[in-house]
Structure 1
Amino acid sequence: MSDYTAIITGGSKGIGADLGQRLIEKGYTVVSLSRGAPEWSNAKLVHVEVDLLDASATEQAAGEIAAQHEVSHLIHNAGMIWPNLLEEAKPSDLTGLTQLHLGSALTLLQASLPSMKAKQFGRVLFNGSRAALGVPTRTAYSATKAGIIGMARTWALELAQHGITVNVVAPGPVQTDNFWGIIEKGSAREAELAKRIPVGRLGTVRDISNAFLFFCDPENGFVTGQTLYVCGGGSVGTLSL
């Protein structure tokens, strides 16, 4: 698999880092996009420092990556929550997270698409969220994560004829910095939430990267436009954070 190059946004730590390391083990080159330096290193890891909230900076980074690499996989993993109740929600929350969760993915794929179409192969993946189904305090986050699903389904239809699949992995509560930014690590609230998840535990980074690896696999070309909830059963019923 040495001919594959994967862009991973938010590849410096957490889910993105675990997935990047596992793809490199399979022979991929990984281009990680993040605001800070990666917490890991490898000869086949390329780090690009960029703030995906900045549309112009994202466009410049996308062009430079496309000029230097033949991208086969785009994994849009980066995300932010920005929680607040309805009374405190602002239109700027929607604008910012729309750029991060949707706009930056559009820019990166547009830059990478010529290479994918030329090879008649590509894998486009999103890190969605169970919150797309609704969670209190998530006006902008839930809206833009739900938007990912619609955009992915549209792209799947447009790109299927070119051998390019587009899918969404939608995690439930997972032990990452984003999660612990909302719920204190090791707290009673964290333990109580874990009990309410049908499988009885929080998700791990490895749980999510396992799902991404399935969709990344070149042999899995008959699955596209799908959203896989990796949430311990939390999407089956109601789950309040």
Structure 2
Amino acid sequence: MLERTFLITGASKGIGRAIAEQLAASGHQVVGIARRVEDSHFPGELIAADLSDTDSTIQALEGLKARYTFDGLVNNVGLVKPQGVVDVDLTSFDEVMKVNLHPALLATQALLPGMSERGWGRIVNISSLTVLGIRQRTSYAAAKAALISFTRGWALELAQTGITVNAIAPGPIETDLFRGGNPEGSSGEAAYIAAVPMGRLGKPHEVAAAATFLLSEQSSFITGQTLYVDGGASIGRSAF
């Protein structure tokens, strides 16, 4: 197996951290970007950058490009601000769209020249099951749906370059962020579980397994696709 070098945004916690751990366990080099980097156990290098700030994002990417030869990218960083449709304000809407989409576009643009030159690359965009509809997620679901559109458009543009572009749409995953709003035994947790045919929450490592495959040599004929990692919620779901 060839050792590859992958960049992950939003890498310090949850799904991003699980992807970093699985890639490292598979023998790859991992570089992560996160707002906070006080983590001596991260399985690679973790760089501090405020990905909600364009200048900070560009500066971090340029610095990393000078030090690493990247083979792939996981656009994972995101922001959710639950609001009912009548409460959505444009300031919050723009912030959610910016954090979910701008770093993905900037990171992809930064890494594409090198991957194109070498004729090999993998891009995985982390979307969400919410694109199929959920209450109080006007901004977040719109941003995650845009990531799926990014995925399809970029896949077409890059189809003959050796670079694949795919998305993963997780269902409810038991991360610290999820638990912050849905403690064990809460009505919120019960509502999410009720929408999943498997009857349980997903684990970060289950999303990471899908991402690791899509970043691998074995996924070379898969591009432009969105893989739902959701316990069947996208095919048999009630509104949660």
Q: Secondary structure at the match of 2:74?
A: strand
Deviation at 1:174, TM superposition (A): 0.7
**Correspondence for 1:164:** 163
**Correspondence for 1:223:** 222
Deviation at 1:204, TM superposition (A): 0.8
**Correspondence for 2:52:** 53
Call closer, same or farther: CA 1:32–1:130 in 2, change over 3 Å.
Answer: same
Call closer, same or farther: CA 1:11–1:87 in 2, change over 3 Å.
Answer: same
**Correspondence for 1:89:** 88
* Aligned pairs (5 A) from 1:135-150: 135-150=134-149
Deviation at 1:41, TM superposition (A): 2.2
Query: Deviation per CA, 1:131-190, whole angstroms, max 9, x where unpaired?
Result: 011111001000000000101100001111110000000001110123223323332431
> 2:189 matched to 1:190?
yes
- Whole-angstrom CA distance in 1 between matches of 2:68 and 2:176: 30
Runs of 4+ in 1 over 4 A off after TM superposition: none
**Correspondence for 1:233:** 232
* Aligned pairs (5 A) from 1:127-138: 127-138=126-137
- Whole-angstrom CA distance in 2 between matches of 1:185 and 1:92: 32
Deviation at 1:91, TM superposition (A): 1.3
Q: Secondary structure at the match of 2:160?
A: helix
Stretches of structure 2 lacking an aligned partner (at least 5 in a row): none
Which amino acid counterpart does residue 57 of structure 2 have in structure 1?
Answer: T
Deviation at 1:238, TM superposition (A): 3.6
Report sequence identity in percent: 38
Q: Secondary structure at the match of 2:228?
A: strand
Q: Secondary structure at the match of 2:189?
A: helix
Deviation at 1:210, TM superposition (A): 1.2
Deviation at 1:67, TM superposition (A): 1.2
Which amino acid counterpart does residue 100 of structure 1 have in structure 2?
Answer: V
Q: Which TM-score applies when normalising by structure 1?
A: 0.94
- Whole-angstrom CA distance in 2 between matches of 1:184 and 1:219: 38
* Aligned pairs (5 A) from 1:1-241: 1=1, 3-37=3-37, 39=39, 41=41, 45-241=44-240
Which amino acid counterpart does residue 4 of structure 1 have in structure 2?
Answer: R
8 Å CA contact 1:169–1:227 kept in 2: the answer is: yes
Call closer, same or farther: CA 1:193–1:110 in 2, change over 3 Å.
Answer: closer
Query: Deviation per CA, 1:97-155, whole angstroms, max 9, x where unpaired?
Result: 22211111111111111110111000000111000111110010000000001011000
Query: Deviation per CA, 1:44-79, whole angstroms, max 9, x where unpaired?
Result: 611110111111111111111111111111001111
CA RMSD, Structure 1 to Structure 2 (Å)? 1.6
